């Protein structure tokens, strides 16, 4: 069933707002006087499950692939965004490994965790700006509708979108 590109990009922009909120909470959690390991684990999981499992999946399986099918070239902005998704996935794996090392007692891993979280936040913040300010307007101006195999809502349901947003809301309250 056809869906308007502007609908998809509006959902993705909303995801971007939640992602930026999660990054702000992660920064507060990591810089707390007594960091709560459970909160940090939840936030790193958010980066894997919500950012990658939900948000990047909507971009890659719904928006980007369908825009390619409608004649929008893969080379250029989409290629850059997909490549940056790979960098983000790599950085999340490092965060997961550093978190586990810290929990096993490696205090130097915590310092590295803080540094890599900043690197991830910088990477994703710049990535979001490129999508919001460059790629999404380009797509909205050149592709009116797409007909993806999966809907945005299906991907969100499979990725437990609501669960992750609920976790984020609780953590936002804690670190307000």
* pLDDT score of 1: 79
Beta-bridge mates of residue 127: none
- Number of domains into which the chain is organized: 1
Please list the alpha-helical segments (H only) found in 50-106.
57, 65-69, 77-103
What phi, psi does 117 have (nearest 5°)? -65, -40
Q: Look at the block and give the residue holding tokens 């999966």.
A: 150
70: which DSSP letter? T
* Residue 2 C-beta-side C-alpha neighbours within 13 Å: 6
Per-residue pLDDT of the chain (176 residues; tens, 9 = 90+): 799 999 999 999 999 999 999 999 999 999 999 999 999 999 999 999 999 999 999 999 999 999 999 999 999 999 999 999 999 999 999 999 999 999 999 999 999 999 999 999 999 999 999 999 999 999 999 999 999 999 999 999 999 999 999 999 999 999 99
3: which DSSP letter? E
- The 10 Å Cβ neighbour count of residue 60 is 16
The string of pLDDT tens digits covering residues 28-76 is 999 999 999 999 999 999 999 999 999 999 999 999 999 999 999 999 9
- CATH number where 95 lies: 1.20.120.520
Angle at the Cα of 57 (from 116 to 48), degrees rounded to 5?
30
* pLDDT score of 150: 94
The parent domain of residue 25 ranges over: 3-174
């Amino acid at each position: 069933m056809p869906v308007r590109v502007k609908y998809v990009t509006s959902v993705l922009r909303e995801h971007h707002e939640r992602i930026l909120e999660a990054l702000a909470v992660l920064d507060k959690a990591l810089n707390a006087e007594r960091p709560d390991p459970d909160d940090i684990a939840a936030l790193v999981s958010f980066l894997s499950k919500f950012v990658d499992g939900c948000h990047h999946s909507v971009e890659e399986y719904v928006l980007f692939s369908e825009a390619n099918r409608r004649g929008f070239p893969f080379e250029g902005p989409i290629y850059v965004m997909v490549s940056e998704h790979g960098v983000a996935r790599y950085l999340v794996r490092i965060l997961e490994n550093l978190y586990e090392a810290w929990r096993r007692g490696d205090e130097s891993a915590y310092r590295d965790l803080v540094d890599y979280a900043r690197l991830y936040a910088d990477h994703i913040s710049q990535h979001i700006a490129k999508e919001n300010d460059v790629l999404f307007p380009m797509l909205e101006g050149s592709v009116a509708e797409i007909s993806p195999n999966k809907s945005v809502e299906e991907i969100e349901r499979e990725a437990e979108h609501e669960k992750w947003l609920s976790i984020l809301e609780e953590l936002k309250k804690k670190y307000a």
